Amino acid sequence: MAVGLGNGPEVLAVLRERVESMGLLVWQCDAVGLVVDAPPMTGAGGLVLSGRVFAKAIADSATKWRTAERPPVTEVLPGTYMIPIPDVARGRRLGYLVVGVLEMTALESKAFLEACRAAGVGPEPAAASLLQYAHGTRTEAMHLADLLRSMHEDLGAGLKTERAIEGFTTELTVTYEQVSLLYELGRSMRGFPDPAEFLARTAANLQDATDFRWAAARPCGATAMPSLAGSPSIDVPRVIELFNTLEREAWDERAPRILTAVGGEPLPSGSQLLAQPVLIEGRLAGLILAGDRGGRDPQISSYDTNLFETAGTFVSTFLENHALAARERATFFGLVRALTAAIDAKDPYTRGHSERVAHLGRKLAEALGAAPEECERVHLSGLLHDVGKIGVPEAVLLKNGRLTDDEFEAIKKHPRTGHEILLAIPRFDDVLGGVLSHHERWDGRGYPEGLSGEQIPWIGRVLALADTFDAMSSNRAYRAALPRERVLEEVRNCSGAQFDPDMVPAFLSIDLTEYDAMTAVAQAQRQAA
């Protein structure tokens, strides 16, 4: 069995440097004892030590060292002791670092004279140059052997510790980058962005956290550009072609593929492509690609594949949730439109009124600089603002003439009725203010609570403008629609009285093209009914 720490040339190089600094002679040998490097001496002494006699003496002794678990200190020539330190790697002995100790008698022996003759130098100058090394004994050689072996073990242990620390540091860095990436993806999911935006963030985060020079992501069947981060060595049309080709292949597991060719065509410069599928219910829903890996090793690693597979799971979950939310949203708005249709069915003159108020309310909210979420709430509240008219008798809703006081009181109940209908539905919490207060007036003369100024919820002030504008612009049972200029003039005149004066200029800036198209459709439907 080979004995040694197996730390290779790196440890022996450090050990040799330290031994030479102690003024000792050092040879480097291979596994069979052949000298590959002699002590770095010049002159007669250096020629003797690197010559044939010393080389043969070391090689002959190595036959004993190869079979010994702990190679012994060996007197290779009279008065010349060699201390072999084996170099072992993966269970194989690769060679020896041999440290020499000379007694004074060594420089007077017949073997030394033979070594001088073989090297072609005189014994006197050779002995003179080696005199500084000839101060040891056999006992000192044995003690030195123990010291050198301990030093070798300490160096090996230190190197292993250093490598372990380096490995731990690398692993910690990789883990940190991976956790950071997954944190960013998770945070992006909480914001519930558009799928294209989430894919763009995913590609950018993957490219930033790895050595790939580019990463790209795209849902399947997309005709738009993939979300691309970094600078690929291939042109963008080729990236798109890679997506199109890979989407036609069969993908039956979430594991990524490492490719050197796509569609039978090799990638440029022998590079590798990492392709991560995004599966939903066993169906390919998207792909994440990455290429041109840099760093010290251009080959794709298991770290890369694990990271991309995890990212693919995040994207898959996000797309599933987004599709589910889209279905829920469609169902929800289907319910809302069913409620508004029930109102329209009671009064054909107001067909499409809620849709138009919702449209105008959203446009006004956008013109006022509201956030997209707030604009969405205004739109929803506009769709539902008249739901309370379900409780108003049709005779009142459809009356051609002037309403009596009692009939008007019945009409005035619809905001509160609508509020009560929706109050028990949690999804409608943030639209109730618009439903209840869209008939309040800035001057406090509105209903149902007579609020004034900023006491009126912001959403109610928005819908009050939208509702009144559409009411004046539509045909009703008791009057025809007013001309556009007359309607706009009324809006201006009622600023600060019926309407929030800060909202009127914004309302007057709205493009009414889409609104007019909605009005035309409603008129056509009413005529066809």
Q: Which residue has the tokens 């540091």?
A: 169
In this predicted structure, what is the pLDDT of residue 503? 97
Backbone angles phi, psi at 100, to 5 degrees: -100, 140
Structure pTM? 0.50
**Helix (H), strand (E) at residue 285:** strand 283-293
Dihedral sign for Cα 476, 482, 487, 490, please. negative
**443: Cβ contacts below 8 Å, ≥ 6 apart:** 452, 496, 497, 498
In this predicted structure, what is the pLDDT of residue 297? 78
- Domain identity same for 102 and 229: no
Q: What is the mean pLDDT of residues 405-428?
A: 84
Pairing outcome for strands 273-280 and 283-293: antiparallel
As a dihedral over the C-alpha atoms of residue 293, residue 296, residue 302, residue 307, rounded to 10 degrees, the angle is: -60
Residue 326 belongs to a domain: no
299 band by pLDDT with thresholds 50, 70 and 90: confident
- 326, HSE (Cβ side, Cα atoms, 13 Å): 9
- Domain identity same for 311 and 419: no
Give the strands of the sheet with 74-77, arranged side by side. 35-37, 25-30, 92-102, 80-89, 74-77
Q: How many CB atoms lie within 10 A of CB 249?
A: 13
pLDDT digits (tens, 9 = 90+) for 368-399: 999 998 999 999 899 889 888 888 777 777 67
The token pair at 280 is 């939903």
- Domain identity same for 423 and 490: yes
Residue 321 belongs to a domain: no
428 band by pLDDT with thresholds 50, 70 and 90: confident
Q: What is the mean pLDDT of residues 307-320?
A: 86
Residues 64 and 152: beta-carbon distance below 8 Å: no
- Domain identity same for 156 and 201: no
Backbone angles phi, psi at 92, to 5 degrees: -115, 135
In this predicted structure, what is the pLDDT of residue 402? 79
Higher pLDDT, 329 or 251: 251
Indicate whether 413 pLDDT > 60: yes
Q: What is the mean pLDDT of residues 181-204?
A: 68
In the chain, how many H helices and how many E strands?
A: 19, 12
Indicate whether 233 pLDDT > 90: no
**276: Cβ contacts below 8 Å, ≥ 6 apart:** 256, 287, 288, 289, 290, 308, 309, 311, 312
Q: How many CB atoms lie within 10 A of CB 423?
A: 13
- Domain identity same for 43 and 117: yes
CATH number of the CATH domain containing 366: 1.10.3210.10
3 band by pLDDT with thresholds 50, 70 and 90: very low
Residue 171 belongs to a domain: no
Residue 427 belongs to a domain: yes
Q: What is the mean pLDDT of residues 43-51?
A: 93
DSSP 418: H
6 band by pLDDT with thresholds 50, 70 and 90: very low
- Domain identity same for 126 and 256: no
- Domain identity same for 127 and 21: yes
Indicate whether 524 pLDDT > 50: yes
In this predicted structure, what is the pLDDT of residue 73? 94
Residue 185 belongs to a domain: no
Indicate whether 194 pLDDT > 80: no
Of 363, 362, 367, the C-alpha closest to 381 is 362
Q: What is the mean pLDDT of residues 8-13?
A: 74
Of 61, 55, 89, 87, the C-alpha closest to 75 is 61
| Domain span including residue 19 | 8-162
Higher pLDDT, 25 or 180: 25
- Domain identity same for 225 and 366: no
Sequential DSSP letters for 349-387: GGTTHHHHHHHHHHHHHHHTT--HHHHHHHHHHHHHTTG
In this predicted structure, what is the pLDDT of residue 2? 34
The crossing angle, in degrees rounded to 10, of helices 138-190 and 8-21 is 130
315 band by pLDDT with thresholds 50, 70 and 90: confident
What is the percentage of the chain residues whose pLDDT exceeds 70?
89
How many domains does the chain contain in total? 3
- Domain identity same for 293 and 379: no
* Angstrom distance (rounded) from CA 245 to CA 262: 7
Residues 82 and 76: beta-carbon distance below 8 Å: yes
Indicate whether 293 pLDDT > 70: yes
- Domain identity same for 12 and 127: yes
